[in-house]
């Protein structure tokens, strides 16, 4: 901002700047900082006016407003923590249970992970024989459903944000 103006917070999310005079051909730059507090699309609007525009002496007033759209989103670091076969060695036609543990890691700048999909395919020499299960180790679950039937093709899993989950035999949905 130039030295001849002043800015102040007007109320809540609103700010205002005043300049006693801006000579013809000169510009002023105002830096406004904010913080995204909810995910989604945010449109910031700005307008400018002067005594001349208020009195009708501004020949082009259609350029006195502008909008800037910003997408507010979260950053996440999802991880497959482990995948374990129990037992690790089986005889032909003996059952095996695969347990997959996933996590949304915490850290600076990280938040919840949305619509997480866990995909796993059994090797060609195996088939799904049981019902899937989901165990939430930490974090909330609002609903819990697993998809996949014996001998069927598995569907993608969904995992509740910010939860660590242990998953067995097929993909599970938690939402």
33/52 same-domain check: yes
The pLDDT assigned to 44 comes to: 93
Q: What is the pLDDT along the chain (175 residues), one digit of tens a residue?
A: 445 788 888 777 888 999 999 999 999 999 998 888 888 999 999 999 999 988 989 899 899 999 999 999 889 999 999 999 999 999 998 988 888 889 999 999 898 888 888 877 788 888 888 766 777 766 665 545 555 544 443 334 443 333 344 443 333 333 3
54/122 same-domain check: no
Non-local (6+) Cβ contacts of 124 within 8 A are: none
39/82 same-domain check: no
Q: Give the integer Cα–Cα distance in Å for 73 and 75.
A: 7
Peptide bond into 166 cis (omega under 30): no
107/66 same-domain check: no
Indicate the pairing of strand 157-159 with strand 116-118. Answer: antiparallel
The runs of H, that is alpha helices, within the chain are 51-54
151/126 same-domain check: yes
The pLDDT assigned to 36 comes to: 86
C-alpha to C-alpha distances, 54 to 16, 24, 164, nearest whole angstrom: 17, 18, 59
For residue 91, what are the domain limits? 78-174
Nearest to residue 16, comparing CAs of 43, 41, 58, 49? Answer: 49
The pLDDT assigned to 154 comes to: 39
How many other CB atoms are found less than 10 A from the CB of residue 106? 10
Assess if residue 128 is contained within a domain: yes
The pLDDT assigned to 149 comes to: 46
């Amino acid at each position: 901002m130039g030295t001849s103006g002043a800015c102040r917070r007007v109320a809540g999310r609103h700010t205002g700047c005043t300049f006693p005079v801006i000579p013809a051909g000169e510009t002023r730059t105002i830096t406004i900082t904010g913080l995204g507090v909810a995910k989604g699309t945010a449109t910031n609007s700005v307008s400018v006016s002067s005594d001349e525009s208020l009195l009708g002496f501004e020949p082009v007033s259609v350029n006195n407003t502008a909008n800037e759209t910003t997408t507010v989103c979260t950053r996440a670091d999802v991880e497959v923590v482990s995948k374990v076969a129990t037992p690790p060695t089986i005889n032909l036609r003996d059952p095996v249970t695969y347990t997959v543990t996933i996590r949304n890691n915490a850290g600076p700048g990280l938040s919840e992970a949305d619509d997480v999909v866990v995909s796993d395919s059994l090797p060609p020499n195996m088939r799904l024989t049981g019902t899937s299960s989901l165990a939430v180790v930490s974090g909330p679950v609002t609903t819990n459903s697993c998809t996949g039937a014996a001998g069927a093709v598995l569907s993608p899993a969904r995992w509740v944000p910010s939860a660590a989950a242990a998953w067995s035999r097929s993909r599970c949905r938690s939402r």
